[in-house]
Amino acid sequence: GFLGVHDYAHIVPVVETLLSGRRVTGWDAPPCALPMASRLLSTPGYSAYVKIAEGCDNRCSYCAIPEIRGPFASRAIGDVCDECASLAERGVKEITLIAQDTTRYGEDREGASLLPDLLTSLGSIATLRWIRVLYCYPERVTDRLLSAVAGLPKVCNYLDIPIQHIDADILKKMNRKSTPGQIRALYSRIRGLGAGFSLRTTLIAGFPGESEAQFESLCRFIKECPFDHLGTFAFSPEDGTAAAGLPGQVPQRVREGRRERLMQIQAEVAKALNRRRDGRIYEVLTEGYDPDSGRYFGRTYAQAPEIDTKVFWRAEQGLSPGTFVKVRVTGSEEYDWIGEMTDEPAQ
């Protein structure tokens, strides 16, 4: 039998029923959530992901998540804040908010996004240092959200906005709601907030029907509108999705080649962006020590855990993971930053 993704709180009683020798042919208890304040952390003790919603209603043509996880359902602001406060009491200093679409948070409850309100509430948790938002849909990034991200002291000037492509026809086939013009306008608005704002996106290479000209337009876009961090995936058809049945399936070899080309371009983009950081001083969250290079490593507000680049530096004294230090950037190694510790204030 199967339990749905909302029924994980019932796993133990179901297993106990089976172990007692009885069969389980159905489970009538309503879906419920376990108390998240006491959850086990699978991340280092100074950083945690917090899911603010489950499910998705966006129906992108390449994605099976709505069928797997059901409709979008936000958690209550108080519930999320209680979990984050509990994590902060346990020593967590960085919270990364996630959902299939964080920008839709609260729409199912109040008819409008409550993400800015949630960020404001989380900002009052005394021992939290960084609050970060991932998985923002471009059409739902409002001026109110940008004001909250740019203006709240504990919210990192960082947004992850997966755009997937920049060609109008491809976006339409993907069932994405943003147009190329809207994506470019949003990019300009965010860059207008200041040079220190960090942007991440993801792209899909080799979507069905993608011509060489459409792919080249995507290559030009990431040169014209450079992102601080960029991930690229070769299209992979998922069973049961509309995209899997579209005509014009691109051969896997071509898909992989296009993905590699995009990442080669991004490597050059990253080099140019990193040169602009030389001499700047950042607050860095220490994550560990690399014995091979004899350097510590960590992240700034501009780098999300696990998916982005890191900063490497040397220090004479021992540094524990979770310690904040000041580092002046002195160079880079492809994507990662190299620096030196300093007592001067971050810029």
Task: For residue 177, tell me if it sits in a domain.
Answer: yes
Name the strands in the sheet holding 130-133, side by side, starting at the edge strand that comes first in the sequence: 47-51, 94-98, 130-133, 155-160, 198-205, 229-234
pLDDT over 60 (residue 37): no
Give the model's confidence band at 4: pLDDT under 50 very low, under 70 low, under 90 confident, else very high: low
Contact by Cβ (8 Å): 156, 130: yes
230-254 pLDDT tens trace? 999 999 999 999 999 999 999 999 9
CATH of residue 119: 3.80.30.20
Do both 202 and 115 map to the same domain?
A: yes
Between CA 250 and CA 237 the distance in angstroms is: 11
CATH of residue 332: 2.40.50.140
Task: For residue 315, tell me if it sits in a domain.
Answer: yes
Do both 131 and 203 map to the same domain?
A: yes
pLDDT over 50 (residue 315): yes
Do both 26 and 73 map to the same domain?
A: no
For 23, 62, 165, 203, 295, the CA distances from 174, given in Å and listed in that order, are 43, 7, 9, 12, 43
Contact by Cβ (8 Å): 161, 199: yes
Contact by Cβ (8 Å): 6, 31: yes
Task: For residue 20, tell me if it sits in a domain.
Answer: yes
Do both 286 and 270 map to the same domain?
A: no
Residue 21 DSSP SS3: coil
Contact by Cβ (8 Å): 305, 158: no
Do both 112 and 9 map to the same domain?
A: no
Task: For residue 39, tell me if it sits in a domain.
Answer: no
Structural domains in the chain (count): 3
| Mean pLDDT along residues 199-205 | 98
51-107 pLDDT tens trace? 999 999 999 999 998 888 888 999 999 999 999 999 999 999 999 999 999 999 999
What percentage of the chain exceeds 90 in pLDDT? 78
Question: Does the predicted model carry a pTM greater than 0.85?
Answer: yes
Query: By residue range, what is the domain housing residue 113?
Result: 44-276
Do both 138 and 199 map to the same domain?
A: yes
